[in-house]
Structure 1
Amino acid sequence: MSLRFLRSRLLIAGLLLLNLPVIAGTSGQPQAGEIPPQDLGKQWRGEAINLADYRGKVVIVTFWASWCGPCRKELPVLSHFQKTVGRDALQVFAVNFKESREDFMAIARNRDLDLDYVHDRNGQVSDRYGVHALPNMFIIDQTGEIDHVHLGYSADSLPDIIDELLALLPEEVRNRPAQGS
């Protein structure tokens, strides 16, 4: 067996292994064009959240955990989106993935992040969404259908996410001055 052949086989095997979490993380998830589960549970302040109440807005539902480094990078970005676009056109829900109340509250109390937090300690919401890997983001259009699903987070994915979000916002929202400026 040649070194070149072996190297290509190892490369292919390595790429397949790198993709396993992505493949496993998306099985059973609602996909683009589908209506996601409407019940997100309760906000950390106790209010029940039903996504049907947010029709007419773009909604982002992201699943995160305090121990997830990429999640901790994504949350401030989503908070910036929320502040910049405004709650009249965008609603961001950050659903905590199966953590203790203490770990959840350590993040949810951060007043610098303009997000609506949901504590999913027992995993009922994440199970309905088929979430097995983090972060896992669902971008939902004004009609209530999922427009995009993102698994993982990197700075390289940010321009695409911004373009997807802007494409969903009405022209008058895209053209007004940013609310968080």
Structure 2
Amino acid sequence: MKRNIPRGLSAAVLWLCLSASASAASPRPGDVPPDALGNDRAGNPVSVSQHRGKVVIVTFWASWCGPCRRELPILGHVQKTVGRDHLEVIAVNLNEPRADFAAVIRANPKLKLTYVHDKGPAAELYGVTSVPHMFIIDRDGTVAYVHRGYSPEMLEGFVQEMMSLLPPEVLSRAAG
């Protein structure tokens, strides 16, 4: 007995299967993360590899996410304290209208982060399905730590993790 499957239904099932198989798993500690993150506000491509030799923090965020909005100023302070010669914080906005993305940046002019407006490809490569979602990448370009979500309690641990990846001369400079 032959069954006729409606053409639209079979196409939808095929699309779901392909989407599920194309979705990447989130990089874990020890993995080399996907390189391309999208374009910065000036339209320049941003990649993890262009910052080799630095600690790189890639954080996915959204304007409607309260924890993300609390995390960005902390990351901005860390970026300013450590300096761009040893640390690069890349804040990847997850699939929002450009106006919402721009409004957060305008409201926080003192946050000197590298901002990327992602319409979905970077998040898909990183397996990001919720925000905030942070990847701390060591100076050799491998994922050292991953954080999903945000809480004030994780802050001290995050700072310790990030500092453990910095070269000794940066730590002694910060202490002095």
**What is the Cα deviation at residue 178 of structure 1?**
7.1
Partner of 1:67: 64
Unpaired runs of 5+ residues, structure 1, are: 1-26
> Which segment drifts farther, 63-72 or 39-48?
39-48
* Equivalent AA in structure 1 for residue 25 of structure 2: G
Q: List structure 1 segments (4+ residues) > 2 angstroms apart after TM superposition.
A: none
Work out the CA distance in 2 between the residues paired with 1:126 and 1:74. 18
Superposed, which structure 2 residues align to 1:14-33 within 5 Å? 28-33=25-30
Partner of 1:51: 48
**What is the Cα deviation at residue 51 of structure 1?**
1.2
Tell me if structure 2 keeps the 8 A contact 1:84–1:178: no
Partner of 2:102: 105
Work out the CA distance in 1 between the residues paired with 2:132 and 2:117. 15
* TM-score normalised by the chain length of structure 2: 0.83
* Equivalent AA in structure 2 for residue 148 of structure 1: Y
User: Structure 1's 140 and 105: CA in aligned 2 closer, same or farther, altered over 3 A?
Assistant: same
How many residue pairs match? The answer is 152
Work out the CA distance in 2 between the residues paired with 1:55 and 1:72. 27
* Residues 102-124 of structure 1: per-residue CA shift (max 9 Å, x gap): 0000112331111110001x201
SS in 2 for 1:176: helix
Partner of 1:36: 33
Q: Does 1:88 align with 2:85?
A: yes
> Which segment drifts farther, 131-140 or 43-52?
43-52
SS in 2 for 1:167: helix
* Residues 109-164 of structure 1: per-residue CA shift (max 9 Å, x gap): 331111110001x2011010000111000000000000000000111001100110
Partner of 2:171: 174
Partner of 1:165: 162
* Equivalent AA in structure 2 for residue 85 of structure 1: V
Q: Does 1:145 align with 2:161?
A: no
Unpaired runs of 5+ residues, structure 2, are: 1-23
Tell me if structure 2 keeps the 8 A contact 1:85–1:178: no
* TM-score normalised by the chain length of structure 1: 0.81
**Rg comparison, structure with higher value:** 2
Work out the CA distance in 1 between the residues paired with 2:26 and 2:47. 18
Work out the CA distance in 1 between the residues paired with 2:76 and 2:132. 15
Q: Does 1:126 align with 2:123?
A: yes
